Structure 1
Amino acid sequence: MQTNEQLLSALPADSTLAGRTAVVTGSSGGIGEAVARVLAASGAEVLVSGRDPERTRAVVDSILAAGGLAHPLTADLTAEPADVRAFARDAEAALGGRVDILVNNAGVYPGSRTADVTDDEMQALWATNIRAPHVLVARLAPRMAERGSGAVVNIGSWMARVGVPYKALYPATKAAIEHLTRAWAAEYGPRGVRVNTVAPGATDSLGNAKNADLLVEMAKGTPAGVPVRPVDVAHAVRFLVSDEAALVHGATLDVDGGIAATRLR
C-alpha cells in the first residue's frame, strides 16, 4: 500500500476544479496539506494557511513545484472573531477577491478525561473547532450565495457519534460541526452553496505521530485494517466540492475505514 507522501507526490493533474479558488484552514501539514495539494492538482487556486510560516510556505512550494497555484497566509484561528474575519478578508484578497471553496480543516484535540481538561484546552477547542468555522462561514458563505455557487466542507471526526471514556469535549465539538453542516446546508443550499462534512477515522497524520502504534491497533478492528491516510480524506473533499456532488447537501461522508459503522471483534 502506497504511503501518503508517495500518493501526494504522484498526483495526476486534471481540470476538475479549474478556475475555482479555495481556502483550506490548517493546511500547513496533515489532512489540510493533503487537501490543499489535491485541490491544487485538480486545478484550484489554493490559499494555504497555518500558524507556522515556514511550514505553510513549504506546502505552497510543493504545490507550485507540481505546476499548481497557491498562496501562503499565516493564521491563528484561536484568535478573536475580528481577527478571523480579517483572515477571511486577506484570504479573499490573495485569491483575487473571490472564494469558491472553503474547507474548515483546522482543529485541535487536546485533553483527555473530563476532569483533566484545562481551561486553556477547553477554550482552544471551542475557539478553533467551532467558533472559527462559524466566523468563516458567516463571512464567506453569503458572498458565495450572492454569486449563486460555492462549496463548504467541514472536517469532522468518527468520534462525533461514538461515546468513548477517554475524550469527551473534542468529539462534542465535532458533533456540533456535523449539526452546523446540516443547518448551513439548509440556510445556504437554496442559494447555490453546498455544505457537507468529511469525517475521518484514525488518521496517520502529523498531529497523531506520537500515537502511531495506537492508530495501528485501532485500525486492526476495522474492515480496512489500516489507518486512514490524509490523502484519502482529501479525495473525499475534492469529490464534495466538485460538480460530481451537485446534489449532495448536508451530508457527512465517513472516510474512516469502517471504524464508526462496523465491529469485527
Structure 2
Amino acid sequence: MSDLTGRTALVTGATAGIGRAVALQLGARGADVIVHGRDPGRGAEVVGEIARRGGTARFVAADLTDAGEVAQLAADAGEVDILVNNAGIYDFTSTPGTSAESFDRHVAINTRAPFLLVGALAPGMAKRGRGAIVNVTSTAATSAAPIGAAYGASKAAVELLTRSWATEFGADGVRVNGVSPGPVRTAGTAHVADLLGQANIRGQVGEPEEIAEVVLFLVDDRSSYINGTVVLANGGERSALPG
C-alpha cells in the first residue's frame, strides 16, 4: 500500500470523474488533498467523502480559463508535493464547427492551466528536492480522428510538455509523467461510453478508479525510476496490435 502521509496533493478538476477518483485515492493513502473545482457544493461533497474515509482535504475554487485565477490557485495551494493536472474539457466537433472561443477554451484549460501551475509549483518542489507531477492526457493526443481536433491538439501539447518538464526538473528530484486514458465512464461520457468502449481490445469502457490507480502509482515512490513517460490506459487499441 502507498503511504503518502505528510505530502500535500493538488488535484485539478477533482469534483467529478477521474479527478474525484484520484482525490479519494490520494486521501485514502494519507495525502492532504487540495480539491480543485468550480462548484463549492460538489467540492464540499468530495472533501466530506475524503474525511469520512479518514483523510484530510480542503476545497479551492478557480476558473482555469482565467490565468489570474490559476495563479491564485497556485498561491492558495502553497507548497505541494504532488500535482495532478486532471481538469479538462472536450468538444468533439469538426474543425469548421469549432469556434475561436471554443478553441481558446480548450487551450486555456487543457494546456495553459497545467503550464502555469507547473511554472508556479514545480520550482518549490525542486528546491525541496522532491515532487511528483502527473498530467492526465488522452488517447486523442496520438490517435487522429475526423472530429475533436482542438481537443486532441491541446492534449498532444500536454504530452510534449510532460517530457519537457521531466527534463527541466528531473535533476532536482521532481518526476513528471502522464497517463493517457481511453474512453472512461464519467458523467460527461455516460451516454456514449459503452459504444466507445467497443473500440478497444477489452471491448469495454474504463472506470475512473482504474485511471486513479495508475496516477497513484506514478506519484508514489514505487515508481521512482519512471520520469518523462506517458502511460497508456486504454484497454488496448485494436489498430496498435497485429492481426
User: Superposition RMSD on alpha carbons, in Å?
Assistant: 1.5
Deviation per residue, 1:58-83 (Å, 9 max, x gap): 0111110111111111111111x232
- Alignment pair present for 1:88 and 2:69: no
1:15 Cα offset (Å) = 5.1
- Alignment pair present for 1:181 and 2:162: yes
- Against the structure 1 CA distance between its residues 255 and 194, is the aligned structure 2 distance closer, same or farther, given a 3 Å change threshold? same
Whole-angstrom CA distance in 1 between matches of 2:196 and 2:95: 22
1:32 aligned to 11, 14, 19, which one?
A: 19
- Against the structure 1 CA distance between its residues 100 and 111, is the aligned structure 2 distance closer, same or farther, given a 3 Å change threshold? same
Question: Structure 1 regions of 5+ residues with no counterpart?
Answer: 1-13, 93-97
Deviation per residue, 1:200-224 (Å, 9 max, x gap): 100101221232xxx2223223222
Instruction: Please tell me whether the aligned partners of residues 181 and 195 of structure 1 are also in contact (alpha carbons under 8 angstroms).
Output: yes
Q: Which residue of 2 aligns with 1:66?
A: 53
Q: Which residue of 2 aligns with 1:158?
A: 139
- Against the structure 1 CA distance between its residues 166 and 107, is the aligned structure 2 distance closer, same or farther, given a 3 Å change threshold? same
- Alignment pair present for 1:235 and 2:196: no
**Residues 111-260 of structure 1 mapped to structure 2, 5 A cutoff:** 111-211=92-192, 215-259=193-237
Whole-angstrom CA distance in 1 between matches of 2:113 and 2:238: 26
Whole-angstrom CA distance in 2 between matches of 1:123 and 1:209: 26
Instruction: Please tell me whether the aligned partners of residues 228 and 256 of structure 1 are also in contact (alpha carbons under 8 angstroms).
Output: yes
1:243 is matched by which residue type in structure 2? Answer: D
Deviation per residue, 1:132-168 (Å, 9 max, x gap): 0000000000000000000000000011111101221
Instruction: Please tell me whether the aligned partners of residues 21 and 208 of structure 2 are also in contact (alpha carbons under 8 angstroms).
Output: yes
Whole-angstrom CA distance in 1 between matches of 2:128 and 2:167: 17
Instruction: Please tell me whether the aligned partners of residues 2 and 29 of structure 2 are also in contact (alpha carbons under 8 angstroms).
Output: yes
Whole-angstrom CA distance in 1 between matches of 2:62 and 2:114: 13
Whole-angstrom CA distance in 2 between matches of 1:35 and 1:20: 15
Instruction: Please tell me whether the aligned partners of residues 199 and 238 of structure 2 are also in contact (alpha carbons under 8 angstroms).
Output: no
SS at the partner of 1:116? coil
TM-score by length of 1: 0.88
SS at the partner of 1:115? coil
Identity in percent: 44
Instruction: Please tell me whether the aligned partners of residues 48 and 70 of structure 1 are also in contact (alpha carbons under 8 angstroms).
Output: yes
- Against the structure 1 CA distance between its residues 260 and 232, is the aligned structure 2 distance closer, same or farther, given a 3 Å change threshold? farther
